Structure 1
Amino acid sequence: MSAYLITNVSVVGGPPTDLLIRDGVVAEVADNLSAPDATVVDGTGLVALPGLVDLHTHLREPGREDAETVESGSRAAALGGYTAVCAMANTSPVADTAGVVEQVWRLGREAGLVDVQPIGAVTVGLAGERLAELGAMADSAARVRIFSDDGHCVADPKLMRRALEYVKAFDGIIAQHAEEPRLTEGAQMHEGEVSTRLGLIGWPAVAEEAIIARDVLLAEHVGSRLHVCHVSTAGSVEVLRQAKARGVRVTAEVTPHHLLLTDERAETYDPVFKVNPPLRTAADIAALHAALADGVIDIIATDHAPHAVEDKECEWAYARPGMLGLETALSIALDVLGPEWDLIAERMSRTPARIAGLTGHGVDPAPGVPANLTVVDPAARRTIEPAELASRSRNTPYARMTLPGRIVATFLRGEPTVLDGKAVK
């Protein structure tokens, strides 16, 4: 295997030092290292972080390879500093059997750019009527441990209870898309002042909060693990805060776009800003920032949702919800949190790796640990050009925005997937 010596680099915000990668692991971290056989990467002014881990990625394959493939999504992830992503189940066919999750897992291994861990569906066909093959997916080569109908809520409380009970046997997790469907029928954006002014049907905050409140009670009753996808409201934060104070086994994520963008973006009627759950208010964003800082919200997850041109460049009412996120997530985190490197490492690497049970990921660079890491230039600023993104889709809400930070290098088990800001393969 190749050897790489990153010189004068800050490890998770610490003082500059040298970092030697050899045989797939971090061999040494010390000052003034010498390795004549190693490729030298000048790390002056750069920060080395544990490779980022995304708990919420849509890779679209199988079925919608026009929007994204496992390979193109993996490349986007590597360019965003990720070494592992969890692929959501809403493919076509749905990842509700051992065969489909193994297909996604193998495609990830063939691409070799990030570790792709499939998430299995909770219900057959995401229809919310009967449980999918949870045990078979857990026992498959993909070793699925997280199950989600993301894009759809497991609305039936009896079915949700059964799912929580089932996965408890192998310490699995149910990841819920919290949306009471009877309260969001026909909804187009956040219900509030802006939706009233624009004449668009609103998606009320209580539709999210009610499901989270129900599910934390179910998880508490069963004693199982619950994960809440893309939390977006101040009320949801308070429900989670109370649940955690009682010791409920619940974790939660927030997306970059819910940390930065408000419902006022809908005033342009540009469908790139249509997402589910919808963009909320400035007050919601403030509550999400505080919850991320104090740990009520555990992680940042991208909800990377690529869409083909015909599904986005159309009238708002007919556009599919979703935004790209993998290649810009760290920049948004820097914009929102500032250079709080330990907090960024915790929310974007250590904790998501721990939740997903991804051994070897989410570990700070240190002698003997797998060399899954990313190197960031925090002083760089870049203007987002959709045509330059690695994703097959172009539905980024940050087009032509100038954001902080640039991924200089990403290493997966000691081999570079990104060098000098460019994909290696």
Structure 2
Amino acid sequence: MSVAPLRVGLLGLGTVGQGVIRVLQRNADEITRRVGRPVVVTHASARDTSKAREVSLEGITILTDPMDIAAKADVDVVVELIGGTTYARDLVLAAIARGKPVVTANKALLALEGNAVFSAAREKGVLVGFEAAVAGGIPVIKAIREGLAGNRIEALAGIINGTCNYILTQMTEKGQAFADALADAQRLGYAEADPTFDVEGVDAAHKLTILASIAFGMPLNFDAVAVEGITKVTPQDIKIAQALGYRIKHLGIAKRTDSGAELRVHATLIPEDKLIAKVDGVLNTVLLQGDAVGQMGLYGRGAGGDATASAVVADLVDVARSIGAEARHLVPALAFQPDAVRALPVLPLDQVASAHYLRINVADETGVLKAITAILAELDISIEAILQKEPRGGEDATVAVITSVIPESRFNQAVARVRSLPFVREDVSRFRVEHF
């Protein structure tokens, strides 16, 4: 007896949309065996219906308006892959209003509008799958929400933006300046023509918002994330960090403390012998700290057509299995039962404690190091490592230190006083240091 296929309405035929079709076609037998019925795309939307595609669209109805699929088409599940927030929200809510499950790879939509989306889905008793929204093909959402359900997640940290990781890798391995490494990333398609969301940390902050919510059972709270990018990282800082035994990586970090949650995205010095420091290029990784499992890591391709499509199809498998189930039996979107999702106070950045890196270019005068260390001592800041480079060929001298773990507010005081010293040549360079 044949079973009716799960009919998928695909909003967007870009790289990921075509990847979804390709994975469903290539692995049709395996997917059918897992689901118990075929999973096929019956409708798709594209702005240009005449454009040549890399996959077969035979049997798929192509429409120009994605709302015609979300609000009208005879499909069982809607997959949103067009990006953005406002129109994407309207599409997703339209599908949910019809009682249709939704799968999305849209991290910005979830970070900014996810609370409303999940509330609407809960009222309709349908599933919203979003594995592809964070770290591409790495199944980090399922790992936290399901695989680690018996743990209290204490912390997580990840390289969750491949563009930043590629740029920092090029700066480290080839000594490139930021602008040159960015140009290479754009030429290879790893960075957009306007790379702001990537290099200023916004994309990583969207993803961290989602990870922190499912890890700590808190509502999505993008506005509370402290966000910094990588534009202030220089080849000089990378070389000094290496000399001190560190690598610089752009991380999303979430920690749960007695005072509340830390949510921050920034360039970070990490000891070079740590696994997270060895993840290079466009690859992603997420470290998780659970009270029972200890530290564990997930690693792989965080972007790309087939990698992201892998996560989308995994969600489609979940949707197929969930259809007909009572709402109370669905896996909660944010890992905790809806009435148990509770707001956590998010610590202001000046209350966050970490070690710090400080690099100062100074005039070649006597007493420089003594003056700097005196300021640190007066503020009860211990020095864990120090490097002093003598000037060569007319260059300024350089002093770099790594401090002990201290509140950011105290480090800010030290930086302000160091900046005011008469021999400091230019603005200082500062980054946080984590050891994981």
Q: TM-score, normalised by structure 2?
A: 0.30
Q: TM-score, normalised by structure 1?
A: 0.30
Task: State which structure, 1 or 2, has the greater radius of gyration over its C-alpha atoms.
Answer: 2
Which one has more relative contact order, counting CA pairs under 8 Å at least 6 apart? 1
